[in-house]
Amino acid sequence: MKQYLKDIVKCVKCGRCRTVCPSQNVLGWESSGPRGRMLMALGCTCDLEMSRGMIDGFLTCTTCHQCVSECPSGADPLEITRVVRRELIDMGHVAPHQIEIMNRVSGSGNSLGDESPRTSWLDIPVDAGSFDHIYFVGCLASYRQQETTAAIYSILRQFSVGLLEDEKCCGSPLYRLGLDTSELIEHNSYQIKKAGAHTVITECAGCYAMFRGQYEFNVVHLSEFLSDRLEQLPLKRLNITVSYHDPCHLGRFNKLYDAPRTVINHICTLEEMKYSREKAGCCGGGGGVRLGYPELSSMVAKDLAANIPQGMDYVVTACPLCIRNLSDIGIKTIDLAELVRMSMV
């Protein structure tokens, strides 16, 4: 933690990003915002004993990246919060939702704890051939969006994209909670090398950020892959108007803003939210907050909902957590992959 002292001290004297922090906006406490979290991290460097309230302060960060994007001096309270979460675990402070996600992934290989086969959506066995590109499907798409996943894969197969023989969770939900992901990274990396692939295509924002930050392969978002091939795709235009929600881990984390919009504009009419791209709101689902603090998570989603234009047929996004969190508060939210499926002829 001492190596982060310079950043921590910057934040403790500043606080400029407090107004953009979704958890602080809802909860109101300094300890639920970036500066407060850094003040508590300063305490960690002096072996201050952590109270329950302080631990909750670290665990209510949605990992939205707004503080990092807003910071004029390059501080990174988000990364420091993640490191503190890991240190708290090492000290024996493990929250029930951290145990739950750990058990789900270690028992089933996916973040849902679903014990059925991961590729049950596929009507043929996984082709064990060699591929330059593989489609890393992700947990939610494998188990909760199977029809859409099958449709998207039917497109990707035409471009010689393969699947992993034994895909497991990318590790993102664990990583953001400070949990160990080394075995998952090792397992998936071995599978990718075994498939002979140099590039991973993924659609889930969490998988995308995880592959970008923690794996050593080229990563392409599904929208980037499709937007380069739109004229070759069997898609028809739909007479609907949608708005696009930039998932934090795709947008602010990785500055991927244009490709999803290119795909949407090809299919239907897009109307932007009041705040979008770098300034997009957070859905409140990330960083384990949906699982550990559902009430806070839902209140953050409601703040985001105020940003959506009236009369949209759908809100489109590219993150399963955003879909679930926004759907739970009554917003018709679909995955970009689902929009593509709807437009397939």
Binding-site string for ligand SF4 from residue 26 to residue 65, where x marks contact by CB under 6 A and - marks none: -------xxx-x-----------------------xxxxx
Q: Output Rg (C-alpha) for the chain, integer angstroms.
A: 20
The answer to whether the beta carbons of residues 51 and 44 sit under 8 Å apart is no
The answer to whether the beta carbons of residues 147 and 338 sit under 8 Å apart is no
Tell me: does residue 14 bind ligand SF4 (CB under 6 A): yes
Q: How far apart are CA 145 and CA 345, in angstroms?
A: 19
Could you tell me the CA-to-CA distances from 245 to 205, 278, 295 in Å, in that order?
A: 12, 11, 21
Residue closer to ligand SF4 by CB (options 300, 337) is 300
Tell me: does residue 154 bind ligand SF4 (CB under 6 A): no
To ligand SF4, the closest distance from the beta carbon of 285 in angstroms equals: 12
Residue closer to ligand SF4 by CB (options 10, 212) is 10
The DSSP bridge partners found for residue 136 are 202
Question: How many Å is the maximal CA-CA distance in the chain?
Answer: 62
Residue closer to ligand SF4 by CB (options 59, 197) is 59
Tell me: does residue 17 bind ligand SF4 (CB under 6 A): yes
Q: Which residues contact 310 (CB under 8 A, 6 or more apart)?
A: none
Among 26, 27, 54, 67, binds ligand SF4 (CB under 6 A): 67
Residue closer to ligand SF4 by CB (options 62, 181) is 62
Written as six digits, the tokens of 21 are 């922090």
To ligand SF4, the closest distance from the beta carbon of 250 in angstroms equals: 15
To ligand SF4, the closest distance from the beta carbon of 205 in angstroms equals: 14
Residue type (1 letter), 180:
D
To ligand SF4, the closest distance from the beta carbon of 16 in angstroms equals: 4
Residue closer to ligand SF4 by CB (options 14, 238) is 14
Residue closer to ligand SF4 by CB (options 15, 113) is 15
Tell me: does residue 75 bind ligand SF4 (CB under 6 A): yes
Tell me: does residue 22 bind ligand SF4 (CB under 6 A): yes
Residue closer to ligand SF4 by CB (options 41, 161) is 41
Phi, psi dihedral angles at 231 (to 5 degrees): -65, -20
Q: Which of these segments, 13-21, 116-124, 167-175, 331-339, binds ligand SF4 (CB under 6 A)? A: 13-21
Q: Which residues bind ligand SF4 (CB under 6 A)?
A: 10-11, 14-17, 20-23, 33-35, 37, 61-67, 70-71, 73, 75, 77-78
